[in-house]
A = this chain, B = another copy of it.
Amino acid sequence: MDALTLIATVSIITAGLTIAIGSIGPALGEARAAAQALQAIAQQPDEANTITRTLFVSLAMIESTAIYCFVVAMILLFANPFWTWAIAAAAAPGTGG
């Protein structure tokens, strides 16, 4: 198979697996933090504000790893530098590829 098809193929597979695998950790992690926050609120209702604020900061940091994966998947689908190069190379086959 030619280079363009190959790059397209692996980009599709990698984009899907990246976000699929990359969503397991953050989903379980956010659930753990949220579950503990709910337990903490039940234990110390007077500290609900501090607990909620700390929870949101933590969720943001955990979500960041999911967003890294989503960013990479989006880059692979819509801003893939190798794909850009391959399209250009296919249009001008004499310069490379």
Report A's interface with B, CB cutoff 8 A.
1-48, 50-52, 54-59, 61-66, 68-70, 72-73, 75-78, 80-83, 85-87, 89-91, 95-97
Q: Is the CB of B59 within 8 A of A2?
A: no
Q: Is the CB of B9 within 8 A of A6?
A: yes
Question: Bound state CA distance, A81 and B77, in angstroms?
Answer: 7
Tell me which residues across on chain B come within 8 A of A13, comparing CB atoms. 10, 13-14
A55-B54 CB under 8 A given contacts A31-B28, A33-B38, A96-B87: yes
Tell me which residues across on chain B come within 8 A of A91, comparing CB atoms. 95-96
Question: Bound state CA distance, A59 and B94, in angstroms?
Answer: 51
Tell me which residues across on chain B come within 8 A of A96, comparing CB atoms. 4, 87, 90-91
